Amino acid sequence: MIKDDKWVKRWVVPSSSGGEYIVAQDASGNYACSCPGWTRHVPRTDCKHIREVQAGGGQTLTEHVIHKLGGRR
Residues 11, 60 contacting (CB under 8 angstroms): yes
Domain count, the chain: 1
Count the Cβ atoms, other than its own, within 10 Å of residue 4: 5
Question: Has residue 21 been placed in a domain?
Answer: yes
Confidence at residue 4, expressed as pLDDT on a 0 to 100 scale: 67
Asked if the model's pLDDT at residue 27 lies above 80, the reply is yes
Question: Has residue 1 been placed in a domain?
Answer: no
Question: Has residue 2 been placed in a domain?
Answer: no
Amino acid symbol at 27? A
Question: Has residue 40 been placed in a domain?
Answer: yes
Tens digit of pLDDT for each residue in 62-72? 888 888 787 65
- Report the alpha-carbon distance of residue 11 to residue 53 in Å, rounded: 7
- Whole-model pTM? 0.82
Residue 12's domain spans which residues?
7-68
Question: Has residue 73 been placed in a domain?
Answer: no
